[in-house]
Structure 1
Amino acid sequence: MKFVKEIELGDPSANHQNFIDLKLKMLCCRYWLLDLWDCHEMVFPFWRLYWNKNTGGQLIHQDTVFEMDPNYIYIIPPFTSFSSLYTKNHIHTEGIHVSGKQLNSNHNEADLENMFLIHFFAHFNLGVPFDSVYPGILKIELTDYLKDRLNYLTDRLKIENKNFKLTFNLKLQAFIKEALTNIGPELWKTINIDERVLKVIRYIEVNIDKKLSNTNMSSLVNMAPNSFARLFKDEMNVTLHQFVQNRKIAKSCELFEHTNKSIEDVAFNLGFSDRYHFSRVFKSVTGLTPASYKSGKYT
């Protein structure tokens, strides 16, 4: 057999192809029985996907109320301010209050639909620049394909919700990616952002543990700080300072999810002057204190 060295990567075509690198990273995925879902003005630095098997759930974004329909899934991009409630048990008008329990194979869901909100959710990130799309709540109709995947995922979560096998991971990622294909093109404008802005965003991601100044970042693209700040705001619909804060808080959430680092360690690792400064920024972005977030009492 003769090895053809001239062909790169086994591709016999001379036509160059450009692919978009989507870095889907799962943070959590659960199937719950909720009896309380009073959450007000939540803001989180990751994507959220919700589906309720029965009616009674509401999502609120600005002046729009979504009555959650079992025939639809709801996707919420990072840094969207929204509220949720279970209409059959609505107590609190502020703060974040959730109670319920994990569904398991011993539960008969048909017997529980009148007492609980049967609730599936997944949290994930997509990487730069797709975690910086425009905020909102996206309502997506369940296709037969999505229903089939959802049935598999919820059935498996009732049996195992900690150590997931490869098949579950692949089907979960396929479910999320298929759902994302149903989002309109207006949401993905960030893939066409100015190359200078994208260069700085990539620099921020690599150097998220450092103190990042406007002067330093604008010099990367040979622009004056004020001119680059205006360009960044025009392209990203958020100030450069707020973007850096958002990305630092997003990284802190990831550290809280996947490490045992203390709040002080996370603050230090992300370049904050002290825990108190970090806590103020964290609460201004998410509406929660770092301690509340670490406790995991949210969906």
Structure 2
Amino acid sequence: MKFVKDIALGDPSTNNQNFIDLRLRLMCCRYWLLDLWDCHDMVFPFWRLYWNKNSGGQLIHQNTVYDMDADHIYIIPPFTSFSSQFKKNHRYTTGIHVSGKQFTSNINESDYSNESLIHFFVHFNLGVPFDSVYPGILKIEMTIYLKERLEYLTERLKIENKNFKLTFNLKLQAFIKEALTNIGPELWKTTIIDERVLKVIRYVEANIEKKLKNTDMSDLINMAPNSFARLFKSEMHVTLHNFIQNRKIAKSCELFEHTNKSIEEVAYVLGFSDRYHFSRVFKSVTGLTPAVYKSGRYT
């Protein structure tokens, strides 16, 4: 048998096709009973997907209150400032206060449906440039497909919530992607950006551990620093400096979720001068200290 080296020979068509490289990166997926969900002015550098099986949960964004129900999924893009609360147990007006427990197969949902929020959530990233969209809270109507996937995912999370098999991973990714297809094209218009800016964004992603300077970025695309700074701000609606900080904090969240690195180690890996500098930037972006984020005392 002869191995065919030219992969193009395997396609009988001469019509070239262009596909979008979507790099979905899962950070966490959990199914909880929440007794308290008083979280105020949260901002995170990743996507969040929420679904409550019962009523009583609320999301607030720019003075708009979303009463959550089981017939809708709620998706929050990166860097959206929002708050949440459980109406039956609303105690705090500032800060982040969460209490509850993770579902197990020994817990009967019906025993808690009147006193706790039955809460499913996923944190994920989509990669460049799809993590740079306009902020907001997106309300997605539940479909039969999404409901079936949710039933499978939540039942599996009661049994195993750490070492997921391939089937679970594939179905979770399919669930997220299907939910995203229901958002509509208007959200993704913000990802159509200047090629020069996109080249710099890709460089930032590939070299996130380095100390990145504005002059180095402008040299990549042969532009004067001030001219490129104006172009970047007009395309991304954020300064290059703040964009780099945001991406470093996004990477730090990923490291906290998927490694056992300490705060000091993460600060060093991402090119911060010390833990204190890293902590100041982390809190300015997320509203949390790295220690609180690392502890998982939020949802």
Given the two structures, how large is their TM-score scaled by the length of structure 1? 0.97
Q: Does structure 1 retain, via aligned residues, the 8 Å contact 2:132–2:191?
A: no
2: CA distance, partners of 1:23 / 1:9: 27
Q: Within 5 A, what are the aligned runs for 1:137-286? A: 137-286=137-286
1: CA distance, partners of 2:262 / 2:239: 29
Structure 1 residues 67-111: Cα deviation after superposition (integer angstroms, max 9, x where no partner) = 001100000011111100000000111111100011122222122
State the partner residue of 1:19: 19
2: CA distance, partners of 1:6 / 1:255: 38
User: Post-superposition shift, 1:190?
Assistant: 3.7
2: CA distance, partners of 1:226 / 1:46: 29
Q: Provide closer, same or farther for how the CA distance between residues 5 and 296 of structure 1 changes in structure 2, counting only shifts above 3 A.
A: closer
State the partner residue of 1:93: 93
1: CA distance, partners of 2:231 / 2:159: 50
2: CA distance, partners of 1:168 / 1:52: 20
Can you give the 5+ residue segments of structure 2 that lack an aligned partner in the other structure? none
User: Post-superposition shift, 1:189?
Assistant: 2.0
Q: Does structure 1 retain, via aligned residues, the 8 Å contact 2:27–2:123?
A: yes
Q: Provide closer, same or farther for how the CA distance between residues 45 and 5 of structure 1 changes in structure 2, counting only shifts above 3 A.
A: closer
Residue type at the aligned position of 1:174: A
Structure 1 residues 101-149: Cα deviation after superposition (integer angstroms, max 9, x where no partner) = 1112222212211110000001111111111111110000000000010
Q: Provide closer, same or farther for how the CA distance between residues 234 and 9 of structure 1 changes in structure 2, counting only shifts above 3 A.
A: farther
4+ residue runs of structure 1 moved beyond 2 angstroms? 1-7
Q: Provide closer, same or farther for how the CA distance between residues 7 and 258 of structure 1 changes in structure 2, counting only shifts above 3 A.
A: closer
Residue 120 of structure 2 is aligned to residue 120 of structure 1: yes
Residue 135 of structure 2 is aligned to residue 135 of structure 1: yes
1: CA distance, partners of 2:61 / 2:266: 30
Q: Does structure 1 retain, via aligned residues, the 8 Å contact 2:133–2:191?
A: no
Q: Provide closer, same or farther for how the CA distance between residues 6 and 83 of structure 1 changes in structure 2, counting only shifts above 3 A.
A: closer
Q: Provide closer, same or farther for how the CA distance between residues 7 and 294 of structure 1 changes in structure 2, counting only shifts above 3 A.
A: closer
Structure 1 residues 210-251: Cα deviation after superposition (integer angstroms, max 9, x where no partner) = 111111101111111111111111111111111000000011
Residue type at the aligned position of 1:252: S
2: CA distance, partners of 1:3 / 1:79: 48
Can you give the 5+ residue segments of structure 1 that lack an aligned partner in the other structure? none
Q: In the comparison of the two structures, how many residue pairs are matched? A: 299
Secondary structure of 1:164's counterpart equals coil
2: CA distance, partners of 1:25 / 1:260: 18
State the partner residue of 1:298: 298
User: Post-superposition shift, 1:275?
Assistant: 1.2
